[in-house]
Amino acid sequence: MWVMLPAEIARRDPPRDDPGVEGNRRLTALTAVVLLLLLFVEGATLLALGPLLPVHVFVGMLLLPPIALKLASVGYRFVRYYTGAGAYREAGPPPRLLRALGPLVVLSTLALFGTGVALVVAGPGTGGLKGLHKLSFIVWAAAMAIHVLWHLEKLPGAVAAEWRRRRPHGGAGKRALALGLSLAVGLVLAAATAHLATPFRHHGGDRIERDH
Protein backbone atom coordinates (compact mmCIF):
# COMPACT_ATOMS: atom_id res chain seq x y z
CA MET A 1 0.00 0.00 0.00
CA TRP A 2 0.10 -4.43 -5.00
CA VAL A 3 -3.15 -6.92 -9.73
CA MET A 4 0.31 -8.64 -9.55
CA LEU A 5 3.17 -6.19 -9.22
CA PRO A 6 6.73 -7.34 -9.83
CA ALA A 7 8.77 -7.11 -6.68
CA GLU A 8 11.23 -4.29 -6.50
CA ILE A 9 14.14 -6.69 -6.26
CA ALA A 10 13.69 -9.71 -8.51
CA ARG A 11 14.97 -13.21 -7.87
CA ARG A 12 18.02 -12.43 -9.95
CA ASP A 13 19.78 -9.13 -10.44
CA PRO A 14 18.67 -6.98 -13.38
CA PRO A 15 20.87 -6.77 -16.46
CA ARG A 16 23.93 -4.75 -15.54
CA ASP A 17 24.14 -3.18 -19.00
CA ASP A 18 20.74 -1.52 -18.68
CA PRO A 19 20.89 1.65 -16.55
CA GLY A 20 17.09 2.00 -16.58
CA VAL A 21 16.42 -1.34 -14.91
CA GLU A 22 19.28 -0.89 -12.46
CA GLY A 23 18.23 2.68 -11.71
CA ASN A 24 14.68 1.56 -10.99
CA ARG A 25 16.00 -1.14 -8.67
CA ARG A 26 18.16 1.35 -6.79
CA LEU A 27 15.40 3.95 -6.46
CA THR A 28 13.05 1.32 -5.04
CA ALA A 29 15.71 0.08 -2.64
CA LEU A 30 16.66 3.57 -1.43
CA THR A 31 13.03 4.47 -0.88
CA ALA A 32 12.49 1.19 0.95
CA VAL A 33 15.31 1.96 3.39
CA VAL A 34 13.85 5.39 4.17
CA LEU A 35 10.41 3.86 4.65
CA LEU A 36 11.76 1.19 6.99
CA LEU A 37 13.38 3.84 9.20
CA LEU A 38 10.23 5.97 9.33
CA LEU A 39 8.00 2.95 9.90
CA PHE A 40 10.21 1.93 12.81
CA VAL A 41 9.62 5.33 14.42
CA GLU A 42 5.90 5.10 13.66
CA GLY A 43 5.71 1.64 15.20
CA ALA A 44 7.60 2.77 18.30
CA THR A 45 4.91 5.38 19.02
CA LEU A 46 2.39 2.57 19.50
CA LEU A 47 4.16 1.67 22.75
CA ALA A 48 2.74 4.86 24.32
CA LEU A 49 0.23 6.16 21.83
CA GLY A 50 -1.47 8.57 24.22
CA PRO A 51 1.47 10.92 24.85
CA LEU A 52 3.10 10.12 21.50
CA LEU A 53 -0.01 10.65 19.38
CA PRO A 54 1.28 13.92 17.85
CA VAL A 55 4.44 12.08 16.75
CA HIS A 56 2.33 9.22 15.39
CA VAL A 57 0.24 11.59 13.28
CA PHE A 58 3.25 13.62 12.15
CA VAL A 59 5.26 10.59 11.00
CA GLY A 60 2.18 9.03 9.42
CA MET A 61 1.65 12.09 7.25
CA LEU A 62 5.38 12.31 6.50
CA LEU A 63 5.28 8.75 5.18
CA LEU A 64 2.66 9.40 2.53
CA PRO A 65 4.85 10.91 -0.26
CA PRO A 66 7.68 8.33 0.11
CA ILE A 67 5.06 5.57 -0.01
CA ALA A 68 3.67 7.12 -3.18
CA LEU A 69 7.20 7.22 -4.64
CA LYS A 70 7.78 3.55 -3.90
CA LEU A 71 4.43 2.60 -5.40
CA ALA A 72 5.31 4.63 -8.49
CA SER A 73 8.73 2.99 -8.80
CA VAL A 74 7.38 -0.54 -8.43
CA GLY A 75 4.40 0.31 -10.62
CA TYR A 76 6.71 1.57 -13.36
CA ARG A 77 8.57 -1.73 -13.38
CA PHE A 78 5.24 -3.55 -13.44
CA VAL A 79 4.09 -1.62 -16.51
CA ARG A 80 7.40 -2.01 -18.35
CA TYR A 81 7.54 -5.74 -17.65
CA TYR A 82 3.98 -6.51 -18.69
CA THR A 83 4.13 -4.29 -21.77
CA GLY A 84 7.09 -6.33 -23.01
CA ALA A 85 10.05 -3.96 -22.50
CA GLY A 86 13.07 -6.11 -23.33
CA ALA A 87 15.38 -5.22 -20.44
CA TYR A 88 12.61 -5.57 -17.86
CA ARG A 89 11.52 -8.90 -19.34
CA GLU A 90 15.14 -10.08 -19.15
CA ALA A 91 15.33 -9.04 -15.49
CA GLY A 92 12.48 -11.42 -14.89
CA PRO A 93 9.41 -11.49 -12.65
CA PRO A 94 9.51 -11.96 -8.90
CA PRO A 95 8.95 -15.35 -7.31
CA ARG A 96 5.36 -16.60 -7.28
CA LEU A 97 4.96 -16.02 -3.56
CA LEU A 98 5.72 -12.32 -3.97
CA ARG A 99 3.47 -12.05 -7.01
CA ALA A 100 0.63 -13.53 -4.96
CA LEU A 101 1.45 -11.35 -1.95
CA GLY A 102 1.85 -8.14 -3.95
CA PRO A 103 -1.83 -7.15 -4.21
CA LEU A 104 -2.31 -7.72 -0.49
CA VAL A 105 0.68 -5.52 0.36
CA VAL A 106 -0.61 -2.72 -1.86
CA LEU A 107 -4.24 -2.91 -0.76
CA SER A 108 -3.44 -3.19 2.94
CA THR A 109 -1.03 -0.26 2.68
CA LEU A 110 -3.68 1.88 1.00
CA ALA A 111 -6.25 0.78 3.57
CA LEU A 112 -3.96 1.43 6.55
CA PHE A 113 -2.87 4.90 5.56
CA GLY A 114 -6.20 5.80 3.99
CA THR A 115 -8.13 5.01 7.16
CA GLY A 116 -5.43 6.69 9.22
CA VAL A 117 -5.75 9.95 7.30
CA ALA A 118 -9.56 9.71 7.35
CA LEU A 119 -9.51 9.08 11.10
CA VAL A 120 -7.32 12.09 11.79
CA VAL A 121 -9.37 14.36 9.53
CA ALA A 122 -12.73 13.13 10.89
CA GLY A 123 -11.65 13.57 14.51
CA PRO A 124 -12.49 11.69 17.72
CA GLY A 125 -15.58 9.55 17.96
CA THR A 126 -15.14 7.79 14.61
CA GLY A 127 -15.26 4.27 16.00
CA GLY A 128 -15.91 2.59 12.67
CA LEU A 129 -12.83 4.12 11.11
CA LYS A 130 -10.76 3.18 14.13
CA GLY A 131 -11.84 -0.45 13.77
CA LEU A 132 -10.97 -0.48 10.07
CA HIS A 133 -7.62 1.14 10.83
CA LYS A 134 -6.78 -1.57 13.35
CA LEU A 135 -7.90 -4.37 11.06
CA SER A 136 -5.90 -3.03 8.12
CA PHE A 137 -2.86 -2.72 10.39
CA ILE A 138 -3.04 -6.40 11.31
CA VAL A 139 -3.27 -7.49 7.68
CA TRP A 140 -0.59 -5.00 6.60
CA ALA A 141 1.85 -6.04 9.34
CA ALA A 142 1.58 -9.73 8.39
CA ALA A 143 2.00 -9.06 4.66
CA MET A 144 4.84 -6.60 5.15
CA ALA A 145 6.74 -8.95 7.46
CA ILE A 146 7.03 -11.48 4.63
CA HIS A 147 7.71 -8.80 2.03
CA VAL A 148 10.51 -7.15 4.02
CA LEU A 149 12.18 -10.37 5.16
CA TRP A 150 12.33 -11.61 1.57
CA HIS A 151 14.07 -8.46 0.30
CA LEU A 152 16.13 -7.53 3.35
CA GLU A 153 19.25 -9.38 2.27
CA LYS A 154 19.58 -7.48 -1.03
CA LEU A 155 18.82 -3.99 0.27
CA PRO A 156 22.33 -3.24 1.61
CA GLY A 157 23.92 -4.20 -1.72
CA ALA A 158 21.61 -1.96 -3.74
CA VAL A 159 22.17 0.98 -1.40
CA ALA A 160 25.95 0.43 -1.30
CA ALA A 161 26.09 0.30 -5.10
CA GLU A 162 24.31 3.63 -5.29
CA TRP A 163 26.54 5.17 -2.63
CA ARG A 164 29.70 4.07 -4.46
CA ARG A 165 28.19 5.14 -7.79
CA ARG A 166 29.11 1.88 -9.52
CA ARG A 167 28.28 1.64 -13.20
CA PRO A 168 25.66 1.78 -14.48
CA HIS A 169 24.78 4.71 -12.26
CA GLY A 170 22.98 7.02 -14.68
CA GLY A 171 20.35 9.11 -13.00
CA ALA A 172 21.78 8.96 -9.47
CA GLY A 173 21.14 12.67 -9.04
CA LYS A 174 17.57 12.30 -10.23
CA ARG A 175 16.97 9.45 -7.81
CA ALA A 176 18.33 11.48 -4.92
CA LEU A 177 16.19 14.43 -5.98
CA ALA A 178 13.04 12.32 -6.22
CA LEU A 179 13.58 10.86 -2.76
CA GLY A 180 14.51 14.24 -1.29
CA LEU A 181 11.44 15.89 -2.78
CA SER A 182 9.17 13.17 -1.43
CA LEU A 183 10.56 13.76 2.06
CA ALA A 184 10.29 17.54 1.69
CA VAL A 185 6.66 17.28 0.61
CA GLY A 186 6.05 14.86 3.46
CA LEU A 187 7.50 17.31 5.97
CA VAL A 188 5.30 20.12 4.66
CA LEU A 189 2.23 17.89 4.78
CA ALA A 190 3.07 16.66 8.28
CA ALA A 191 3.64 20.19 9.59
CA ALA A 192 0.42 21.43 8.00
CA THR A 193 -1.67 18.68 9.59
CA ALA A 194 0.08 18.35 12.97
CA HIS A 195 -2.71 20.31 14.68
CA LEU A 196 -5.22 17.58 13.78
CA ALA A 197 -3.85 15.42 16.59
CA THR A 198 -4.92 17.97 19.24
CA PRO A 199 -8.63 17.02 19.42
CA PHE A 200 -7.65 13.40 20.09
CA ARG A 201 -5.46 14.45 23.02
CA HIS A 202 -8.29 16.51 24.45
CA HIS A 203 -10.74 13.67 23.81
CA GLY A 204 -8.79 11.38 26.08
CA GLY A 205 -5.24 10.33 25.29
CA ASP A 206 -5.23 7.62 27.95
CA ARG A 207 -8.25 5.93 26.39
CA ILE A 208 -6.67 6.10 22.94
CA GLU A 209 -3.57 4.41 24.30
CA ARG A 210 -5.63 1.62 25.90
CA ASP A 211 -7.54 1.07 22.65
CA HIS A 212 -4.31 0.32 20.81
* Distance between CA atoms of residues 158 and 89, nearest Å: 20
Q: Is 9 a member of any domain?
A: no
Q: What is the pLDDT of residue 8?
A: 41
pLDDT in tens, the chain (212 residues): 333 333 343 344 544 558 788 889 889 999 999 999 999 999 999 999 888 999 999 999 999 999 999 999 999 999 999 898 889 998 888 788 888 899 999 999 999 999 999 999 988 767 788 899 999 999 999 999 999 998 888 888 877 877 776 554 568 889 999 999 999 999 999 999 999 988 776 655 444 444 44
> How many domains does the chain divide into?
1
Query: Are 120 and 195 a contacting pair, CB within 8 Å?
Result: no
Those residues whose C-beta lies under 8 Å from the C-beta of residue 112, and which sit 6 or more positions away, are: 1, 133, 136, 137, 140
Q: Domain span at residue 157?
A: 19-207
Q: Is the peptide bond before 65 cis (omega within 30 degrees of 0)?
A: no
- Say if 7 falls within a structural domain: no
Contact 91, 19 (CB under 8 A): no
Q: Is residue 185 part of a domain?
A: yes
Q: Is residue 13 part of a domain?
A: no
Residues in Cβ contact with 27 at an 8 Å cutoff, skipping those fewer than 6 apart: 69, 73, 175, 178, 179
Q: What is the pLDDT of residue 169?
A: 53
* Residue 14 falls inside a structural domain: no
Question: Residue 10: inside a domain, yes or no?
Answer: no
Query: Of 98, 67, 93, 65, which Cα lies nearest the Cα of 78?
Result: 93
Does residue 11 fall inside a structural domain?
no
What do you get for the CA distance between the two ends of the chain, in Å? 21
Q: Model's pTM, two decimal places?
A: 0.82
Q: How many angstroms separate the Cα of 57 from the Cα of each of 31, 40, 62, 119, 157? A: 20, 14, 9, 10, 32
Q: Is residue 106 in a domain? A: yes
Tell me the Cα Rg of the chain.
Answer: 18
- The pLDDT, as a whole number, for residue 7 is 39
